[in-house]
Structure 1
Amino acid sequence: MATISETFIENRERIQPNDTNNYGSAHGGNIMRWMDEVGAMSAMRHAGETCVTAYVNNLDFKRPVPQGDTCVITSYVYATGRTSLRVRLQAFHEAPRTGDREQTTDSYFVFVAVDEDGDPTPVSDITVGSERCEELRQEALAGEKRREP
């Protein structure tokens, strides 16, 4: 059984010309794909099983990620169900020379753990583990609640 911090993953993608739209910034579909991949890694780290995307809650694009900058994706599991894992995902654009970072995208994904036959399989409860983990969990739960219809 993993703690929230053990599921925390940060990944980077350098925005190349093939990653951009006609406005010279990262194509939103690429950012969503990267978020989905990193989120699945966090979910699998906890579940110990393959995890597939079941739901995406309001993928908000607040700012573009310009070509040449780095897109940083952060992800962690903050809650679990019987077979599901709720994952907080954020994207940032980061200046490669200075490390200055600004949030660009925010979302909450739900993944489902599946066995070798592709059938949903149970997952253990997530463990908070530390004060910082509790802060991350509360931040995710509050943000998720703000997005409910």
Structure 2
Amino acid sequence: MVTLVDTLIENRERVQPDDTNNYDTAHGGNVAKWMDEAGALSAMRLAGESCVTASIDRLDFERPIPRGDTCVIESYAFATGRTSVRVRLRAFRENPRTGEREQTTASYFVFVAIDEDLKPTSVPELEVETERGRRLQRAALDGEPDR
């Protein structure tokens, strides 16, 4: 049995010169890619199967991530369907020397579990057993765009 907290992943990417745009900040496409990769890991941890991106709700870029800072991606599954896993994703810029952090980007992704024949396959129900898990799930559901 996999719980919500088991799907919580925090990935880090150091923003290098090749990751930046003309303004010397992380290119939005790179941030979206890093979010997609982390989200897929959370979905796969829950599903126990490979997962592919089915949809991305609004992807809000609130502030830039300067070259040299670290892009921290927080990802966790907060709801499931028959074959789908909904994942909350947030990106932060983090100063690698001080640990100072602020949110830069937020979104919700939907992943679909697939079998070896690349056909959608069922996923287990999400278990929420701890107060931390309930808090994370509430935060995701409270911030999720209307469907």
Calculate the TM-score normalised by the size of structure 1: 0.97
Q: CA deviation at 1:18?
A: 0.2
**What corresponds to 1:27 in structure 2?**
27
Deviations 1:17-68 (A, max 9, x none): 0000000000000000000000000000010100000010100000000000
d(CA) in 2 for partners of 1:53, 1:129:
27
Matched, 1:55 2:58: no
Q: CA deviation at 1:148?
A: 2.3
Question: Which segments of structure 1 move beyond 4 Å, counting only runs of 4 or more?
Answer: none
d(CA) in 1 for partners of 2:49, 2:100:
35
**Amino acid corresponding to residue 148 of structure 1 in structure 2:** D
d(CA) in 1 for partners of 2:126, 2:91:
23
Deviations 1:86-142 (A, max 9, x none): 000000000000000000000000000000000000001000010110010011001
d(CA) in 1 for partners of 2:14, 2:96:
9
d(CA) in 2 for partners of 1:140, 1:79:
9
d(CA) in 1 for partners of 2:85, 2:30:
23
d(CA) in 1 for partners of 2:2, 2:138:
17
**What corresponds to 2:127 in structure 1?**
127
**What corresponds to 2:37 in structure 1?**
37
Count residues with an aligned counterpart: 147
**Amino acid corresponding to residue 122 of structure 2 in structure 1:** P
**What corresponds to 2:146 in structure 1?**
148
RMSD (Å) for aligned C-alpha atoms: 0.7
Q: Secondary structure at the match of 2:112?
A: strand
| Correspondence 1:1-149 to 2 at 5 A | 1-144=1-144, 147-148=145-146
d(CA) in 1 for partners of 2:143, 2:129:
21
Q: Secondary structure at the match of 1:58?
A: coil
Which runs of no fewer than 5 residues in structure 2 stay unpaired? Answer: none
